[in-house]
Homo-oligomer: A and B are copies of this chain.
Amino acid sequence: MSQSPQQHSIESNAAHSSVVGETRYAKKKVLAIEAAAIVFANKGFHGATTEDIASELGIKQGSLYYYFSSKEEALRQVCEYGFENYVAQMQKIFSRSQPFEAKMYSIVSSHLSRYRQKSNALKVHNDQRLYLSKDKRGRLKELGTAYRQLLETTLGEGVEQGVLRADIDLHFTAYSIIGLCNAWGGNLIRDESIDLFDTTESCANLILRGVLSAQQIGTEY
């Protein structure tokens, strides 16, 4: 049915035709995903047309089906592409052995700078993944769960080490960190004048220390 050449999909982990290079197809497929990401990020899944994506990629509309078997499939691949990259980077951070506070800076910094580098795919994952039919969300759910657990584990370690308050809810806190970063990520993409470093600082600080002044915390807690 589809003309898409599955024998060399970049999605498969199959051995490459050569050790060094990727096939021409695989290279262009990445470009296709990125083109789709740009378009979905700007117009939303339903607001985007296959024509938009094709012209972003510099090919004709019908030719897009050489790379994606359907528009929804394009969305799935964009989401996975964006989120996989993201999670992979986060895993590196989590595996590093460093003070908790520094780790938190790294987490936030990584998240935000990824947005600023026009990582449209991640934005698409965050904003549009719910438009995927359930049977296409499997891999994303896996990744999401893995990621949140990683984050929760890290937070749990912080609690055990006495660096974090014992009364925080790990699940809640993980979600909140992600939510806060996503909110600012959106701002960073929309408004280029926002300073990335300042925002990273502020976010990490808010998460770590909240807004109350020291004496207040002493007083009431």
Contact = CB atoms under 8 A, between A and B. Distances in A.
Nearest to A162: B213
Contacts of A163: 212-213, 216
Nearest to A218: B214
Contacts of A165: 209, 211-214
Contact of A203 (B1, B49, B127, B176): B176
A49 B1 contact: yes
A187 B172 CA distance: 11
A106 to B, nearest CB: 15
A45 B221 CA distance: 46
A184 B173 contact: no
A16 to B, nearest CB: 21
B211 A211 contact: no
Interface string A189-220: 00000000011001101111111111111101
Contacts of A120: none
A143 interface: no
A93 interface: no
Interface string A152-188: 0001001000111110110011011011101110010
Nearest to A167: B205
9 contacts: A45-B46, A101-B212, A163-B212, A169-B202, A173-B202, A179-B179, A179-B180, A208-B212, A209-B212
The 5 closest A-B pairs by CB, nearest first: A179-B183, A46-B46, A210-B210, A209-B210, A46-B47
